[in-house]
Amino acid sequence: MEQIKNYIEALFSSLPKTDEVLRMQINMLSNMEEKYHALLGEGKGQAEAVGLIIAQIGSVDDLKQELGLLDQAPQGALQAEAAAEAAIGSPALSDNPLRQQYFEFKRKMGLFIAIAVGLFILAPMTMALFIGFAHFPAFGFFSFFLCIAVGVGILIYFFTQDEKYREELDLKKAKRDRKTEAISSTLWIGTVILFLFIGFFLNMWHPGWIVFLVAAAIQVWIDYRAKA
């Protein structure tokens, strides 16, 4: 009977653990147990009973296929996956294995961002420490850049991973279309050029920086128009 339990657990292991799926699993297990005892009652040996039962259960693919076809409409592979998701009940954040993985990842990312920031703060501190000792002032610069480099490396790694997950899970906000992107880019590049111009030629760096605030306001207006 243990083997039957294990087989059924393995069968369901890769499926999202929604209420519906779990009830199906329990139902199947309970009925297979009854069948097992019925077969023993007929005089079959334990091994034979287990063999007969497992042979008639079906495979993981069978199960996935049955769940995928729940809507009973002719569907392409992609739609079947989506139908399977909908059929087994809308997966909460913790159901989809990939989402669960992403959730775990996000936690790690939070931790490492904190570590990276810690390193950034640590950088000048280590520099001050080494220079204070005066024996090896060069070490100060070395440790400073090392801390910054590691911190930046951590951030780059985690943000690229995050992008991958978002793309995979289709979480990207598709709000910005190409036109808006183009306009926004032009706006900021233009603002930088304007700033440099009035800085170098009119020497108005000081009030000049306001152009960036104006650009930010214009960006908000652009986003507003894009939504409409």
121's tokens? 């703060």
Between CA 36 and CA 42 the distance in angstroms is 10
Q: Does 15 bind other proteins (CB under 8 A)?
A: no
The correct pick among 13, 48, 58, 179 for binding other proteins (CB under 8 A) is 58
Should residue 85 be labelled a site residue for other proteins when binding is judged by CB under 8 A? Answer: no
Rounded CA gap, 4 and 36, in Å? 9
* Residue 154 within binding range of other proteins, rule CB under 8 A: no
Among 40, 44, 51, 70, binds other proteins (CB under 8 A): 70
Nearest approach in angstroms of CB 77 to other proteins is 17
Size of the site for other proteins (CB under 8 A): 28
Judge contact between 84 and 68, C-beta under 8 A: yes
- In angstroms, rounded to a whole number, what is the distance separating the alpha carbons of residues 118 and 77? 47
**Segment interacting with other proteins (CB under 8 A) among 15-23, 42-50, 99-107, 151-159:** 15-23
Stretch that binds other proteins, among 28-36, 107-115, 118-126, 139-147 (CB under 8 A): 28-36
Q: Is 134 left (phi over 0), alpha (psi -120 to 50) or beta?
A: left
- Whole-angstrom Cα distance, residue 131 to residue 141? 9
Closer of 20 and 162 to other proteins (Cβ): 20
Closest of 3, 48, 11, 39 to residue 27, by C-alpha: 11
Residues that bind other proteins (CB under 8 A): 11, 20-21, 23-24, 26-35, 37-38, 56-59, 62-63, 66-67, 69-70, 87
